[in-house]
C-alpha cells in the first residue's frame, strides 16, 4: 500500500478520528453517573449551607453519600409550584432517589414566559421549619445562582449562599467567597408591597434599617447588579407562594375567639371573619 498518497492520508485520518471519538463517547458515558452525582451533591450542599446546617467548607470535606444522607435526614418535604404559588408536584426525598429541580437556567426562562415550575425545599432544624428557594441570573462573565432560606412563615430570611461560573476573583467572586456578604441577608425580608423591586443590593451601602436591602460589594458592580436582578426576578415569581405561607401563618396564630389581643374580628351575623394581625418585625 502506498502510504504517501492522499487517499491513504484521508483514510488514516478518518479512522483515527472515529476511534478517538468513540473512546471519548464511551468515557463520557462511563463518567456521566459520577458527574451527575457530583452535581447533585454540590447543589444540596449549597442548600444545606443556606439553611444553616453546616458551612460549605465542612460540607466539602464530606463524600457525596454523606451529603445526600444529610439532605434526606433533614428534609421535610420538597415540591414544585406554579406561577400562582400552588403546589403542582412532589419531589422525591428518599436518599436512594432524591429529585431536585436543578436546571435553573431553564426555569429562569420559564419565569419570563410565565410558566415556571419552581422548587421549594422544606427542611426541619431544631424543631423549626426552613424553606429554601433558588435564584439564577447573569453575572459579568457568566451565570450566577444561589439559594435563600426563609423561616417557617416565609417572612424572614435565615441565610443565603451564592455561587458563580466565572466571576472575577477578588471582585465579583466575593458573592461566593465572602461570608460577610452572605451574612447581610440574615434577618432581611422580601418587600411584598413592591413586587417590581422586592429586594435590592445597593451600591454605596444600604440605608440603615431597611429590611429589604443589603450592601453591594465594592468593585463588583456588574456582578452585584446581576445578582440584584436575579433576586428580584425569582423573588417576584415566588411572592404568591411566600404570601400564602405568611397568610397561613397569620391564620394559625389567630385564636379564633372574640377579644383576642392579637386579632381584630369584624363579624357579619357570625359568619364572616376578617382577621387583622399586628406582627412585630423579628
Mean pLDDT of 98-104: 94
What are the tens digits of pLDDT across the range 47-74? 999 999 999 999 999 999 999 999 999 9
Q: What pLDDT score does 268 carry?
A: 44
pLDDT category, 28, cuts 50, 70, 90?
A: low
201 close to 227: Cβ distance less than 8 angstroms: yes
- Residue 257 pLDDT greater than 60, yes or no: no
The better pLDDT of the pair 50, 17 is held by 50
- Residue 272 pLDDT greater than 50, yes or no: no
- In whole angstroms, give the CA distance from residue 164 to residue 160: 14
Model pTM above 0.85 = no
- In whole angstroms, give the CA distance from residue 101 to residue 119: 6
Q: Which of 8-12, 107-111, 258-262 has the highest mean pLDDT?
A: 107-111
Q: What pLDDT score does 193 carry?
A: 93
- In whole angstroms, give the CA distance from residue 230 to residue 64: 28
What are the tens digits of pLDDT across the range 120-175? 999 999 999 999 999 999 999 999 999 999 999 999 999 999 999 999 999 999 99
Strand partners, 266: 274
pLDDT category, 3, cuts 50, 70, 90?
A: low
Radius of gyration, CA atoms only, the chain: 24
Report the relative pairing of strands 272-277 and 263-268 from DSSP bridges: antiparallel
Q: What pLDDT score does 105 carry?
A: 96
pLDDT category, 26, cuts 50, 70, 90?
A: confident
- Residue 273 pLDDT greater than 60, yes or no: no
DSSP structure class, residue 116: -
Strand partners, 89: 80
- In whole angstroms, give the CA distance from residue 66 to residue 72: 10
CB-neighbour burial class of residue 115 (10 A; exposed 0-12, middle 13-18, buried 19+): exposed
Q: Which three cell numbers stand for residue 85?
A: 404559588
Q: Which positions ≥6 away from 116 have C-beta within 8 Å?
A: 82, 83, 107, 110, 237
Residue 2: φ, ψ to 5°? -80, 110
Of residues 69, 74, 48, the one with CA closest to residue 59: 48
* Helix and strand counts by DSSP (H, E) for the chain: 7, 10
DSSP structure class, residue 277: E
Q: What pLDDT score does 274 carry?
A: 40
Mean pLDDT of 33-47: 87
Q: What pLDDT score does 265 carry?
A: 44
- Residue 18 pLDDT greater than 80, yes or no: yes
Mean pLDDT of 252-278: 48
Q: What pLDDT score does 33 carry?
A: 59
H helix runs in the chain, sequence order:
6-50, 56-60, 64-74, 104-113, 174-177, 179-183, 221-253
Q: What pLDDT score does 15 carry?
A: 82
pLDDT category, 23, cuts 50, 70, 90?
A: confident
- In whole angstroms, give the CA distance from residue 66 to residue 60: 11
Amino acid at each position: 500500500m502506498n502510504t504517501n498518497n492522499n487517499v491513504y492520508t484521508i483514510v488514516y485520518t478518518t479512522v483515527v478520528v472515529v476511534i478517538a471519538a468513540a473512546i471519548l463517547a464511551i468515557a463520557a458515558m462511563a463518567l456521566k453517573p459520577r458527574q451527575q452525582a457530583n452535581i447533585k451533591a454540590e447543589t444540596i450542599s449549597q442548600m444545606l449551607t443556606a439553611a444553616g446546617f453546616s458551612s460549605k467548607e465542612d460540607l466539602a470535606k464530606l463524600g457525596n453519600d454523606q451529603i445526600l444522607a444529610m439532605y434526606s435526614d433533614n428534609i421535610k418535604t420538597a415540591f414544585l409550584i406554579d406561577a400562582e404559588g400552588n403546589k403542582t408536584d412532589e419531589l422525591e426525598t428518599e436518599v436512594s432517589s432524591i429529585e431536585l429541580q436543578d436546571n435553573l437556567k431553564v426555569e429562569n426562562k420559564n419565569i419570563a414566559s410565565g410558566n415556571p415550575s419552581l422548587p421549594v425545599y422544606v427542611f426541619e432544624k431544631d424543631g423549626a421549619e426552613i424553606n429554601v428557594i433558588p435564584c439564577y441570573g447573569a453575572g459579568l462573565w457568566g451565570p450566577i445562582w444561589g439559594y435563600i432560606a426563609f423561616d417557617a412563615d416565609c417572612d424572614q430570611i435565615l441565610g443565603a449562599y451564592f455561587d458563580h461560573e466565572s466571576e472575577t476573583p477578588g471582585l465579583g467572586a466575593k458573592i461566593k467567597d465572602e461570608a460577610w456578604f452572605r451574612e447581610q441577608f440574615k434577618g432581611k425580608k422580601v418587600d411584598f408591597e413592591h413586587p417590581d423591586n422586592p429586594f435590592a443590593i445597593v451600591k454605596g451601602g444600604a440605608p440603615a434599617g431597611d429590611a429589604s436591602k443589603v450592601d453591594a460589594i465594592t468593585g463588583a458592580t456588574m456582578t452585584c447588579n446581576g445578582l440584584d436582578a436575579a433576586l428580584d426576578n425569582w423573588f417576584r415569581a415566588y411572592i404568591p407562594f411566600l404570601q400564602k405561607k405568611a397568610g397561613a401563618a397569620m391564620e394559625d396564630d389567630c385564636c379564633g375567639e372574640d377579644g383576642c389581643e392579637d386579632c381584630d374580628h369584624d363579624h357579619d351575623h357570625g359568619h364572616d371573619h376578617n382577621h387583622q394581625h399586628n406582627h412585630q418585625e423579628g
